[in-house]
Amino acid sequence: MKPPPKLAKADGKLAVFLPGMGAVASTFIAGVLAARKGIGSPIGSVTQMGTIRLGKRTENRVPLVKDFVPLQDLNAIEFAGWDIFPENAYEIAQNAKVLDREHLEPLKAELEAIKPMKAVFYPQYVKRLHGTHVKTEPTKAAMVEALREDIRNTIKERGCTRAVAVWCGSTETYMEPSPVYDTIESFEKGLLENDDAITSSMIYAWACIKEKVPFANGSPNLCVDIAAVHELARINDVPIAGKDFKTGQTLMKTILAPGLKARLLGIKGWFSTNILGNRDGEVLDDPENFKTKEISKLGALDHILQPKVYPELYGDLYHKVRINYYPPRGDSKEGWDNIDIVGWMGYPMQIKVDFLCRDSILAAPIVLDLALFMDLANRAGFRGVQEWLSFYFKDPMTAKKLYPEHDLFIQSMKLKNTLRWTMGEELITHLGNEYYD
Ligand SMILES: NC(=O)c1ccc[n+]([C@@H]2O[C@H](COP(=O)([O-])OP(=O)(O)OC[C@H]3O[C@@H](n4cnc5c(N)ncnc54)[C@H](O)[C@@H]3O)[C@@H](O)[C@H]2O)c1
């Protein structure tokens, strides 16, 4: 095992940059402000509410995660971001209709003070949106420089010592592999030549990594999942993580599928469909944008169930995922799963899940944890892909030769063991035979 890293202290203020300030970003900001005032509980956040067992079960050492690892204090966070619409965070939250008036009113002044900077936006990647609050630099290379200036100015003006970025912007159209993505040189040439393969989100990622700002990607976009970005992150010693926040239906899938597999129950079919009516749903209504999401959603079952290892149980599983834009529901999504399972001697059974979830309520704590853990990773000197944060993603990024780990419980163990290792504590194997003669 590698020796634990040297961890720099979380001194001073942390800037949290949010490229894309919509439902998720505004719910995240409002929730942190509410937690600071003690008027909203950060439920769902491992950094705020999670505990971690240390040593033997007989030792009864179970501190809160935030008391065990030195994380940024919520009171010392500055929020900033970009959007193609100029509304401030209060107006965004009002339009998103995720949080009630009674929760937003006490935060009004603070939310109103958070205004998005002008965005880098090439509409061909998100055709359903038409924003005017955008930069007009002539090349994609110049856009990178403009974003870098925004980052430097914000950090300076707000008196921050460090920064992280979490992409909360829209899902872009599906992008095929391109030679532009292969190396730093090919990507930088593409930026100068306004190459179509370089999307808006990639420009943000490039700018952040150039500024040594860790970047986590909450959408299925490829922005930090191309070779050139991996190389840049390694060279610049910057942590990156992605992709696509694991919330509603995929969260359920990665909770249920490991359980069915552990019991060696076969699965013949898994049909997932849902209705949602927020702006994200509207963007995903475009087949080209849905394709990006579909790919990120489909991978989980295959990796958890290992059909090649268990051909009889999972070899001919039919997996289908549908998203339907249905405005009346707003951010309150309803997701249905029909799972056709097979038991002893091949007898069929069915499981039906009806999850009436709130998308942004599930995503907001993920944004907070990613911001704090990416800052921790940065202070620990971790660079490149942060596989230990797979827990938060639908389609976790890994080193080139590895398959991703989708099982939520393995992901949780990986995360907590990384924290134990970072702090020089013994890892927990759950073997347990030391308690018996
Ligand atoms: N809510 C969830 O549970 C969930 C789960 C997984 C992933 N996601 C992803 O998180 C992202 C945000 O979701 P949301 O519900 O907040 O969506 P949203 O539509 O409310 O917010 C996205 C915001 O990004 C802005 N935007 C688009 N392109 C931009 C650009 N180039 N620069 C700056 N801003 C840009 C849009 O104007 C919008 O305000 C989406 O990509 C979504 O797919 C959300």
Same domain, residue pair 32 and 175 = yes
Sheet of strand 215-217, all strands in order from the earlier edge strand to the far edge: 117-118, 77-83, 13-19, 160-167, 215-217, 239-241, 384-385
Confidence of residue 296 (pLDDT cuts 50, 70, 90): low
The predicted model gives 250-278 an average pLDDT of: 93
Quick check: is 3 in a domain? no
Quick check: is 412 in a domain? yes
User: What phi and psi, each to the nearest 5 degrees, are found at residue 378?
Assistant: -65, -45
Does 323 have pLDDT greater than 90?
no
Residue 3 or 163, more confident: 163
Cα 171 to ligand 1 centre (Å): 6
Q: Helices (DSSP H) in 273-407: which residue ranges?
A: 279-284, 287-305, 311-314, 359-379
Please work out whether the CB of residue 397 comes within 6 Å of at least one atom of ligand 1: no
Nearest to 40 by CA among 110, 112, 99, 117: 99
The predicted model gives 121-146 an average pLDDT of: 94
Nearest to 204 by CA among 176, 258, 178, 242: 242
Element (H, E) at 112: helix 108-112
Same domain, residue pair 78 and 100 = yes
Quick check: is 2 in a domain? no
Say if CB 32 and CB 38 are below 8 A apart.
Answer: no
The pLDDT of residue 294 is 75
Give the CATH number, domain containing residue 391: 3.40.50.720
Confidence of residue 94 (pLDDT cuts 50, 70, 90): very high
Residue 328 or 198, more confident: 198
Same domain, residue pair 175 and 55 = yes
Q: Helices (DSSP H) in 129-247: which residue ranges?
A: 140-157, 184-192, 200-210, 227-235
Same domain, residue pair 302 and 396 = no
Q: 3-class SS at 45?
A: coil
- β-pairing, 384-385 vs 117-118, is unpaired
Confidence of residue 279 (pLDDT cuts 50, 70, 90): confident
The pLDDT of residue 79 is 98
Residue nearest to atom 25 of ligand 1 (CA): 20
Torsion of CA 185, 188, 193, 199, to 10 degrees: 120
Confidence of residue 198 (pLDDT cuts 50, 70, 90): very high
Quick check: is 434 in a domain? no
Give the CATH number, domain containing residue 338: 3.30.360.10
Same domain, residue pair 376 and 337 = no
Quick check: is 427 in a domain? no
What rounded mean pLDDT belongs to the chain?
A: 94
Residue 282 or 409, more confident: 409
The pLDDT of residue 430 is 86
Does 397 have pLDDT greater than 90?
yes
Cα 25 to ligand 1 centre (Å): 8
Residue nearest to atom 42 of ligand 1 (CA): 219
Same domain, residue pair 160 and 77 = yes
339, 358, 377: which is the final residue of a domain?
Answer: 358
Quick check: is 295 in a domain? yes
Quick check: is 264 in a domain? yes
Please work out whether the CB of residue 200 comes within 6 Å of at least one atom of ligand 1: yes
Q: Percent of the chain having pLDDT more than 70?
A: 99
Say if CB 369 and CB 390 are below 8 A apart.
Answer: no
| Direct distance between the N- and C-terminal alpha carbons of the chain, in angstroms, rounded to an integer | 29
Beta bridge partners of 50: none
The pLDDT of residue 400 is 85
Cα 170 to ligand 1 centre (Å): 4
Average the pLDDT over each of 7-16, 186-195, 425-434 and give the range with the smallest value. 425-434
Distance CA(15)–CA(165), nearest Å, equals 8
The pLDDT of residue 336 is 95
Which residue out of 203, 280, 393 has the highest number of ligand 1 atoms within 8 Å of its CB and is therefore the one to mutate?
280
Same domain, residue pair 221 and 141 = yes
Same domain, residue pair 208 and 324 = no
User: What phi and psi, each to the nearest 5 degrees, are found at residue 411?
Assistant: -60, -40
Q: DSSP letter string over 14-36?
A: EEEEEES-SHHHHHHHHHHHHHH
Full domain range(s) for residue 408: 13-245+361-422
pLDDT in tens, 175-192: 989 999 999 999 999 999
Residue nearest to atom 6 of ligand 1 (CA): 245
pLDDT in tens, 113-131: 999 999 999 999 988 889 8
Quick check: is 429 in a domain? no
pLDDT in tens, 414-431: 999 999 999 999 999 888
Nearest to 106 by CA among 90, 84, 92: 90
- β-pairing, 117-118 vs 77-83, is parallel
Q: Environment class of residue 50 by beta-carbon count within 10 Å: exposed (0-12), middle (13-18) or buried (19+)?
A: middle
Confidence of residue 433 (pLDDT cuts 50, 70, 90): confident
Residue nearest to atom 40 of ligand 1 (CA): 170
The predicted model gives 45-72 an average pLDDT of: 96
Structural domain tally of the chain?
A: 2
Average the pLDDT over each of 31-45, 125-139, 288-302 and give the range with the smallest value. 288-302
Same domain, residue pair 394 and 410 = yes
Cα 358 to ligand 1 centre (Å): 15
Q: Which residues of 168-177 are buried (b: 16+ CB within 10 A; e: fewer)?
A: bbbbbbbbee
Cα 152 to ligand 1 centre (Å): 24
Distance CA(146)–CA(136), nearest Å, equals 10
Same domain, residue pair 269 and 223 = no
The predicted model gives 24-34 an average pLDDT of: 98
Does 332 have pLDDT greater than 80?
yes
332, 358, 384: which is the final residue of a domain?
Answer: 358
Does 295 have pLDDT greater than 90?
no
Same domain, residue pair 238 and 224 = yes
Please work out whether the CB of residue 278 comes within 6 Å of at least one atom of ligand 1: yes
Same domain, residue pair 52 and 199 = yes
The pLDDT of residue 248 is 85
323, 338, 358: which is the final residue of a domain?
Answer: 358
Please work out whether the CB of residue 26 comes within 6 Å of at least one atom of ligand 1: no
The predicted model gives 46-70 an average pLDDT of: 96
Does 280 have pLDDT greater than 80?
no
Does 372 have pLDDT greater than 80?
yes
Q: In the numeric block, which tokens belong to residue 435?
A: 């308690």
Say if CB 274 and CB 334 are below 8 A apart.
Answer: yes
Please work out whether the CB of residue 163 comes within 6 Å of at least one atom of ligand 1: no
Does 291 have pLDDT greater than 90?
no
